[in-house]
Each structure stands twice: as C-alpha cells, then as structure tokens.
Chain A
Amino acid sequence: MPLATYGGVVTRRDWAGWPASGDRDVPLFKCPMDQESDENLMLRVAARDQAAFGALYDRFSGSLHALVRRILEDDQEAVEVLQEGFLYLWEHAPSYDPTRSKAFTWSVVIFRHKAIDRLRALRRRTRVADKAAELLPPLDDTAERSDHAADRQERADLVRQALLALPEDQRKCIEWAFLKGYTHHQLSELFGAPLGTVKTHIRRGLVRLRDLLKGGLS
C-alpha cells in the first residue's frame, strides 16, 4: 500500500524492511535527497542518518522556527526550543509512524508542545499581564516559501481557506489556543464566554476543519 506522501517513493513494504537501528549512514533510497518525501527523510533519520537529519532540518527549520517564535515572542527562547525540539526529533524519530501522520505535522505537534510548555513556564515566572486586549497577529496568507517548502504551498492554501470558512468564534478559539497555548479556562476569560461555549467552539471548529481538509472545501 503506498504511503500518503508528497511525491515520495516509500512503500509500506520498503519501510517495514528498514534496519532497526543505524549501522550505516548510506541512504537506502535511491532518489536524490531534494526529491525525497518528508516521510522518507524522517524514516532515514530514524535509521540514524545524519545527512537525512540535515536535510530535514533544512526543510522544516524555517516553518518550525516561525511557529515557536510566534508562540513565544522571544528570539532567544525560540532558538532554545528549536534546538531542544530537533534533538528530541533525532532521538524519537524511530517512534514516527508514517501511516498515522505526515512528518511535518508530526514535527509541528512536537515543537508546538515544547514551545507551549516553555511559554507556560515563562508565564508562571514573569506573571505576564492579562492579554485580553492584545490582538493576535494575523496568519500570513501571502508568505513566500523556500523551494523545499514550495510543495506545501497548495496544502497551505487549502488550510487557509478552511480556516476562513469557520465561524469567527471557532476560528479565534482555535488560533489563540494553537498559537498562544491558552487553556480553555483562559480562553473563556479572554473572550468573556462561558467555558462550555469555548469547548464547543474548539470541538466544532476542529471537526469542521478536519472535515474540510479531508474532503476539500466543496
């Protein structure tokens, strides 16, 4: 069964027969590295391929750095989380399952959790003032992308359209939770909405977003 990749050539039979641990650094896939899918690279990272790790870093670091910097709003903290996240990724790549998630979104989950954990720790230390009046910077829908990320452009367009298709309350709850690491209690306070309403917004919004991304916007 072919894997859902961005043009990669890995098949289930291929990665099932992959060596358990890295006893060699040579790539097992014959395609040039810049043509390999993200998932293929991640599987090679799991096999302790440093070159694949370097290539994956080149592909993901720009987006992931943007993400953690957006969450933390602190350059130094963002770099520290980025370094910590990539080392975690190197150590835990063997647990990556390409049948369950894309390599990029799997990485986003890891880095976002690390950034939010760091952010919450910083909030506890510095007692950041109430952010209710703060406006969340809009997501950039006209971002220029590198060559490596160009193949995700189409996907990004789809995501942007799906988000814009959500009711504003749902979209705001999801964006603030995703980019600011606010808990449902904090979101309730921030938007002055009952906790149950916030939960419903998150649930309905994510269900709708999932369905839109799965089945298209039609």
Chain B
Amino acid sequence: MTDRQEEQAAMYSLHVLDEHEKRILRSEMKVDARLREAVAEFEETAAEIAQLLPEDAPPPELRARLLAEIRRSKRSNIVTGVIFGLIRSPWVAWAAAAGLAFGAFRLWEEKQQIAAQIPALQASEVRAKAETQLAEQAKTELQQKLAAATSDTTALTAEVSRLKQANAVSSMEIATLRSGMKRYEEGVAVVVWDSNAQQGQLKMDKMPPVQPNKDYQLWVIDKGKTKPVDAGVVKVNDRGRATITFKPAQPITDASRFAVSVEKEGGVPEGEGSIIMISP
C-alpha cells in the first residue's frame, strides 16, 4: 500500500472524499486486501469518536414505530418464504420433474415421427426437383419457340409491308393529258389514278377560262364500258389552275385513258360537249 493510498483510505473512512476519488479507491480496494484492511481500521478508529458524545435519547415513539415496521417487513418476508418454501417442497419438485419427463417424452415422440417422415419428404423433394427441372426445360424451349415465332412474324410483317408498298405502287397510274386545240394547247393536266382505291387526283394548269354557263368535266375511259364514266366537274381559278380529288360515278375495272371536256355548268351524266384534252 502506498502513502497516497493510505492517505485516501484515511479520508475515505471519514467520508470526506468526493465521488470520483471514492470510485478510484473502491476499485483499488477490490484488488488490494491490505488497503481494504486499512480502510476498515480507519473506519473503526474514527467511529470510536462517537463514544465521546453524551447519550441523547430519541423520542420514545420511535422505538415502537421501528418495531412495528420490522414486524411488517418480517411478515412480508414470511409470505415470501412460504411461497419459496412451496416452490422448494418435494411435491412441487416431483410435479415439476413429472412435467419435465412428460414434456421430454412428447418431444421424443415428435422427433420419432419427424424422423419417419424424412425419407418420404426427401423423395418428394427429389421428385419436385426433377419436375422443376423439366418445367424449366419446357419453359426454355417455349421461350426459344416464341423468339423464333416473333422473328418470323417480324420478317413476315416486313414482307407484307414491302408487298403492300409494291402493290400500292403497281396499282397507281399516272397519265398526262394533252390538247390538240389551239386554245388549250398551253394547258397542262395530270391524273394520278389508284385503281385499288378507285379514286384519283387531277391537277390542271394554264387552262383558259371556260365560257359562261360552262364547266370543265373529267372522264374516265374504261375498256370494259361502252361510254366514258363521269369523274366530276373541274373549276379552274383565275390563273387556270385546279387540283381536285375525284371518285368516278361507276366502278372502274380498267382505266385506259382520261379525258376533259367542256360541258354545261354543273356537268352532265354523259358527255355532250367537245373533248378538249385526252391522255395517250
């Protein structure tokens, strides 16, 4: 024990150390028997000072109050003791042992049942794994087929699109109309005809104005028909231009030529006037 420790032990015994110093000393006391002994000796020595004080009897009721208090605490301890006594009694011990034995037996039984089920469960697991593998294979094959089908569909779609475009172009006819008449020789008329759609577009330019109460009228000449088919009236503007979309009055099977005539205002079902322009 060091001088410092002895000094701390002396002050500890007088209860004058602060909490931090007390904690340090207590931790040292735990591992130092001589220090513990020194503290005990100092405490004993300091306590002797109390011998010098004259006795001073406390209020008389304090004694009765204390005895009543310890009787109450003792009864509480007795109740606790009875409870612990019951817990410690042989009957409780036997009952606890029997309960444990029964529980252990039930656990053993359950363990045996589970052990018996293990091979079947393992076989089921193997089967399930095989089925899962087959299903995985089938799924892979289906995915491959789906991918191939999707690819074919894409190719076919592309082909169809290409064919449609080809078909559309093939069904289109372009015809340029010309006039042998002096009055209309500067005029230009172009027809784009779509036989599939059974409709066409006419564009005219540099056409002279028609006489009052007259209109230009477009005709489609179909080889399968004896007379030209009415395709509508065409009104040109001040500069002799016109663009119209037309749909013939009858279905056209083979549009061989297109012609423009001057007819009565509003047009006529069958041609009456002179044809001024015609495609080759």
The answer, among B15, B58, B70, for a CB contact under 8 Å with A90, is B70
CB-contact partner of A105 in B16, B18, B48, B63, under 8 A: B48
Is A61 interfacial (CB 8 A cutoff)?
yes
Count residues on chain A whose CB falls below 8 Å from chain B CBs.
70
B27 within 8 A of A: no
CB distance from B34 to the nearest CB of A (A): 14
Which segment, of A8-16, A29-37, A107-115, faces chain B?
A107-115
A187 near B16: Cβ-Cβ < 8 Å = yes
Q: A203 near B51 (CB under 8 angstroms)? A: no
Interface size class on chain B is 35 or more
Give the residues from 57 to 72 in chain A that come closer than 8 angstroms, CB to CB, to chain B: 57-58, 61-67, 69-70
Contact check, B48 vs A202: say whether CB atoms are below 8 A apart: no
Chain A residues lying within 8 Å of B44, measured Cβ to Cβ, are 101-102, 105
Query: B180 at interface (Cβ–Cβ under 8 A)?
Result: no
Instruction: Please name all residues of chain A whose beta carbon is closer than 8 Å to the beta carbon of B15 when the two chains form the complex.
Output: 112-113, 116, 177, 181
| From A86, A163, A174, A207, contact of B14 by CB (8 A) | A174
Q: Are B45 and A87 in contact (CB under 8 A)?
A: no
Complex: chain B residue closest to A201, CB-CB: B10
Binds A, one of B35-43, B97-105, B195-203, B262-270: B35-43
Asked if A174 and B52 sit within 8 Å, CB to CB, the answer is no
Q: Are A140 and B50 in contact, CB atoms less than 8 angstroms apart? A: no
Instruction: Say whether, besides A63-B55, A109-B43, A143-B54, A159 and B11 are in contact (CB < 8 Å).
Output: no
B49 touches A184 (CB 8 A): no
CB distance from A138 to the nearest CB of B (A): 10
A92 within 8 A of B: no
Could you jot down 30 A-B contacts, CB within 8 Å? A21-B81, A61-B63, A62-B58, A65-B56, A66-B53, A66-B56, A78-B58, A79-B62, A83-B66, A87-B69, A87-B70, A100-B40, A101-B47, A104-B51, A106-B47, A139-B53, A143-B53, A143-B55, A145-B54, A159-B52, A163-B52, A177-B14, A177-B15, A178-B49, A181-B16, A184-B17, A200-B7, A203-B10, A203-B11, A206-B45
User: Interface of B with A (CB < 8 Å)?
Assistant: 6-7, 10-11, 13-18, 40-59, 62-63, 65-67, 69-71, 73-74, 77, 81
- List the 10 shortest-distance A-B pairs measured between CB atoms, nearest first: A62-B55, A143-B54, A105-B47, A66-B56, A108-B47, A156-B51, A66-B53, A65-B58, A177-B14, A210-B45
